[in-house]
Amino acid sequence: MSEIAVIGAGAWGTALAVQAARAGRAVVLWARDAGRAGAIEASRVNPRLPGVVLPGSIRVTSVLPGAGMTLLVVPLQHMRAVVAGLPGGGPVVVCAKGVERGSLLLPLEVLAAVRGDREGAVLTGPNFAHEVAAGLPAAAVVAGGEALRAAVMAGIGTPGFRLYGNDDAIGAQVGGAAKNVVAIAAGAVVGAGLGENARAALVTRGLAEMARLAVALGGRAETVAGLSGLGDLLLTCTGASSRNFSLGLELGRGLGLAEVLAGRSAVTEGVTTAPALAARAAAAGVGMPIVEAVAAVMRGEIDVQGAIAALLGRPLRDE
């Protein structure tokens, strides 16, 4: 396989570059800012992923590279502009999660709208960047066409980073988007002191919402029950390193959204995803009460206590 390009030098992009190098690939890692790219290239350390030394097979650049395969690891809300400037015509593996604001498109739908000439797949699952970079055991899903997902699995997979293929890209993307929103709700439940019973109930009902939307958009419920849905939920709704869970935790403790975001430099995907996902579900005729409640909190229409009261006060029904 020729050189792999990793577009986005945040923590996850850097971790994937390290993983691709671990799999024996030559890698070019793109950072948008030339000064930052030069500093990482010179020091072989990315401050976004402290303690990890980049292997010699990784070169860092601020010039968008062409490559036999491109891993696109930029936040979804910035993906459209970056995709438009990609050179070459090789396949693109989208490693972003969410729903685009305004268009309400999933990641592969954004790719198709901007660069219909590029074949796409999605890489998603329960992965914290620092653990993947350290070589700790992990698994993920590559969803897309058969030949491309096989190429990705062979290209960056190792025994410690086990990749599973799936032909249901819609279900995989819905799981990746919705889990961040449910994680905010789970964090709020814990932060508000409502207990572990409440968190377990919320996560389970959140999974049901995800499955309903996946099926409505043409995906499969069983995909959401796998790594890209349930697996990601388990990690994001319980792991202390989850940005979305920790944001919900602070909201549940009484802090305002603006106050929490002011203390962060990294993107918390669920903040923007929640209103967009709620709108996409509404357009599909799918009820997602938990997602809708989080979206209302993100828009400032209701506080956490009001959202919790609204969810608990919903009419009784069969599961």
pLDDT in tens, the chain (319 residues): 578 999 999 999 999 999 999 999 999 999 999 999 999 999 999 999 999 999 999 999 999 998 889 999 999 999 999 999 999 778 999 999 999 999 999 999 999 999 999 999 999 999 999 999 999 999 999 999 999 999 999 999 999 999 999 999 999 999 999 999 999 999 999 999 999 999 999 999 999 999 999 999 999 999 999 999 999 999 999 988 899 999 999 999 999 999 999 998 888 999 999 999 999 999 999 999 999 999 999 999 999 999 999 998 999 888 8
Q: What is the CA radius of gyration of the chain?
A: 19
CATH architecture of 4-167: 3-Layer(aba) Sandwich (3.40)
- Determine the pLDDT at residue 170: 98
Would you say 168 and 218 are in contact if contact means Cβ atoms under 8 Å apart? no
Burial tier of 291 (Cβ tally within 10 Å: 0-12, 13-18, 19+): buried
In the chain, % of residues over pLDDT 90: 92
- Determine the pLDDT at residue 1: 53
Residues 6+ apart with CB under 8 A from 97: 76, 107, 124, 173, 176, 177, 179, 180, 269, 273
Q: Does domain 170-312 have CATH number 1.20.140.10?
A: no
- Determine the pLDDT at residue 67: 81
How far the first Cα of the chain sits from its last, in Å, is: 49
Catalytic residues: 179
Q: Where are the beta strands (DSSP E) in 31-105?
A: 58-61, 69-72, 92-94
Going 95 to 181 to 185 to 231, the CA torsion angle's sign is negative
Instruction: Give the residue extent of every domain in the chain.
Output: 4-167, 170-312
Question: What is the DSSP secondary-structure string of 270-287?
Answer: HHHHHHHHHHHHHHTT--
Closest CA to 196 of 238, 225, 231, 233: 238
